[in-house]
Structure formats: structure tokens, C-alpha cells
């Protein structure tokens, strides 16, 4: 394992050392990439909180009424897909900003 980590570190170091490109033009802080990354981070954090709350509510619902587990699971999966779609929309917008 130590040999693998050493090799991975050296490979990363070599890739960074030889990947020197032309100097970038200085941009404003709120122009382009920063806003894209910030919006993606906020959306991912919100998505994680919302998914956690949805799963907790579904588990509580199944615990209260075990016969409805199938319906609760189906509704939860649809809800989780819609919540995750919001983050995917932000990711697409972040790529569009860049």
C-alpha cells in the first residue's frame, strides 16, 4: 500500500510539474468559475440535506406502518430522483458558465 501511495503521489507531482501552460488572464472573483463552483457547492449541500431528510421521513413512515413500505419506497425514490435532478441542473449551468 505504501508503494502504491508513493507512486500515486509521484505521478501526481510529475503531472503537475509538466502541465505548465500559458499564464492565465486574471479574472474578477465573481466572474465565471468561482460563481459556478459556489453555486454547485450550495446545490450539493442542499441536495444532501434534502435527501437525508427525505430518507429519514421515509424510514419513520415505514416504522409506523410496515404494510405501506412498498408505496413509501416508491414515492421516496421518485422524490430523491427529483432532488438529485436539481443538482444536475446546477451542474449543467456551471458548465455553461465556464
Residue 67 domain boundaries: 46-98
In a domain, 82, yes or no: yes
How far apart are alpha carbons 82 and 51 in whole angstroms?
10
In a domain, 26, yes or no: no
How far apart are alpha carbons 76 and 56 in whole angstroms?
10
What pLDDT score was predicted for residue 35?
A: 76
How far apart are alpha carbons 54 and 56 in whole angstroms?
5
In a domain, 87, yes or no: yes
pTM (2 decimals)? 0.60
How far apart are alpha carbons 54 and 52 in whole angstroms?
5
How far apart are alpha carbons 68 and 58 in whole angstroms?
10
How far apart are alpha carbons 57 and 59 in whole angstroms?
5
Please tell me the total count of domains within the chain: 1
In a domain, 31, yes or no: no
In a domain, 60, yes or no: yes
CATH code of residue 79: 1.20.20.10
In a domain, 57, yes or no: yes
What pLDDT score was predicted for residue 25?
A: 62
pLDDT tens for each residue of the chain, 98 residues long? 766 667 766 666 565 556 666 556 666 655 667 777 788 888 888 889 999 999 999 999 999 999 999 999 999 999 999 988 988 888 888 788 76
In a domain, 38, yes or no: no
Amino acid at each position: 500500500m505504501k508503494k502504491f501511495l508513493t507512486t500515486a503521489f509521484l505521478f501526481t507531482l510529475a503531472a503537475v510539474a509538466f502541465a505548465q501552460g500559458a499564464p492565465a488572464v486574471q479574472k474578477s472573483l465573481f466572474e465565471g468559475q468561482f460563481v459556478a463552483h459556489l453555486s454547485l457547492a450550495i446545490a450539493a449541500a442542499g441536495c444532501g440535506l434534502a435527501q437525508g431528510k427525505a430518507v429519514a421521513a421515509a424510514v419513520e413512515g415505514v416504522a409506523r406502518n410496515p404494510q405501506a413500505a412498498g408505496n413509501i419506497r416508491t414515492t421516496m425514490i421518485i422524490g430523491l430522483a427529483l432532488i438529485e435532478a436539481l443538482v444536475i441542473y446546477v451542474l449543467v449551468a456551471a458548465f455553461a458558465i465556464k
